[in-house]
Amino acid sequence: MLICCTKKLLDQLNIKPAPCPDVEPLFSWHANLLRINRRKTEVLVNDKNRYAIVLYGLKAGDFKKLDQHIAQAIRLTFQEECIRDEVIEQFVNHYGQVTFTKTRGRTPVARMNNSCQMVLYGHEDLMVEGIYQIGVGIWVSRLLVGDGPNRYIRPNEEMYKDLAGFAAAPIFSCPAAVLKITLDLDEHQVWRQIVLPLNTTFDQLHQVIQTAFGWQNYHLHEFFIYGQETFDNGAFINHNHSGYHKEGFKPIINLVSNEDAFDYADKVGGQMILEAGIKLSEYVPAKMKYIYDFGDNWQHYIEVEKVLADYDKNHPVCLAGAGNTPPEDVGGQHGYEEFLKIIADKNHPEYEHMATWGNSQGYRDFDIEMVNRRLETGW
């Protein structure tokens, strides 16, 4: 594997660059050394497809074994992408040892610099612990980038195509879950059936639900995980409590999106922890609930219908669904009923205003094809 280094990185490595061998672009990367939050950060960009790998918080000893770190970062990132282990090993070992050389040409350097700018932009998502910044690399690789006149690509999609061509076989395989997510509305059936990899984190599941239901991500959210135990012997949880389950199950975990929530923790709602980095695989097949917008209080019950051992994609897919999602900030269930009453009557004096407002708030018919296009390209 060829690593084409900037002068700054070569100086850090304190090595004389090797002569530049003739290597297929898929196995060649341009690499730069940045300083982010006073930590040394390496960004690698694939010469064939512009896929990005990020290492963060590198210390002197890490540069002495940078070749090993690069290979491991690629392995871990591809594993997170649900790429088959045998394909990963074929890729990493295709050219044997890592060779460090100088950068080659303006175009790959410009592309590398663009990816470095995106890493700087998303630096708040860099994890303090561990040098392999898998999430940031995957995020950068999903961004739409220009690739010549009037052509745009997503580096991750190009890498998938290139790996499939290299392996001459399907490249994805991972355990997955089929979830039925039902919005709790008294008079309406609004639900989505979604299959997604079990390595999906709960902060990612939040984004999936937002996309599948057409929410606009304006408000706070939280998850509850329930055990098998129900309330009995006169004990109960008030139906106004956010951890309430309509079948009486006791919440054991409350996953929240920010630390401010800890100011409102209570024993009834279960142990409160931050959702970031927590994967579905840690709790499936438990019953779950997702609450969005603590004012309107939209409660989504999540049932695990099936667990798949070998899912052949690395992104969520909406398999089925029904019903329209209420507009944002409509005023909860009561406000939604009033909204529906008005837009059903074109002679109502507020019809035009309410129809226009509803459209601005994202109210539209459920479109499974549009949902799946968004789920495939990054939610």
Distance CA 20, CA 41 (A): 24
Average pLDDT, the chain: 93
Band the pLDDT of 337: cuts 50, 70, 90.
very high
| Strands of 59-118, DSSP E | 99-102
pLDDT at 29: 97
% of the chain beyond a pLDDT of 70: 98
CATH 3.10.290.30 maps onto the chain at 175-325+363-376
Judge whether 358 and 340 are in contact, CB under 8 Å: no
In this structure, CATH architecture of domain 2-167: 2-Layer Sandwich (3.30)
pLDDT at 233: 54
For the segment 120-128, the average pLDDT, to the nearest whole number, is 80
pLDDT at 204: 94
List, for residues 225-242, the tens digit of each pLDDT value.
999 888 775 556 778 889
Band the pLDDT of 115: cuts 50, 70, 90.
very high
pLDDT at 97: 85
- Amino acid found at 369: E
pLDDT at 73: 97
Band the pLDDT of 192: cuts 50, 70, 90.
very high
What is the CATH number assigned to the segment(s) 175-325+363-376? 3.10.290.30
pLDDT at 239: 80
Q: Using alpha carbons, select from 29, 80, 74, 49 the residue that is nearest to residue 145.
A: 49
Judge whether 294 and 220 are in contact, CB under 8 Å: yes
CATH 3.30.420 maps onto the chain at 2-167
Judge whether 229 and 342 are in contact, CB under 8 Å: no
Q: Using alpha carbons, select from 114, 25, 12, 28 the residue that is nearest to residue 70.
A: 28
Q: Which residues of 28-64 are buried (b: 16+ CB within 10 A; e: fewer)?
A: bbbbbbbebeeebbbbbbbbbbbbbbbbbbbeeeebe
Q: What's the whole-model pTM score?
A: 0.89
Structure tokens at 317: 């897919």
